[in-house]
Amino acid sequence: MARYVVDSSAMLHLLAHEIDVSEGVELVAPTLLRSQLLAVLHETVHAGEMEVDVARARLARFGGMKIRLLGDAVLRRRAWEVADQMRWASTFDAEYVALTQLQADAFVTVNAELRDSVQGLVPTAPIDDLHH
């Protein structure tokens, strides 16, 4: 079974396009994913770019998805190290990278800038690898 770390951009893509993850694919993410999704969807509704019922339906779909959310001390320590290594002030993206290093085969993001910045640090995969 292939294990992928997905960030909020990848999860939002899956939710927006109602894409089901293939059998044999396991999704993992840091626990912060839940809060990031909530924040992005709320901000989108607040800006008038999405109806509240659409945002809530996406949150409900996320709640029903099979994904392991992790956030132990080892992950937090490694994320700190990654943020230092990458010279990032924030540890948010570093949590996804650290989790990939610790427990996954590849990192999936639709954020091209982030994907490019982590080349050589962790394997990355296109979102199409999550569904065939």
| All domains of the chain in start order, with CATH | 2-119 (3.40.50.1010)
- For residue 91, what is the DSSP state? S
> Which pLDDT does position 61 carry in this prediction?
97
pLDDT < 70 stretches in the chain? none
| 24 Rama sector, left if φ>0, alpha if ψ -120 to 50, beta otherwise | left
pLDDT of 132: 72
**SS3 call for 33:** helix
| Tens digits of residue pLDDT in 23-55 | 999 999 999 999 999 999 999 999 999 999 999
The pTM (predicted TM-score) of the whole model is 0.95
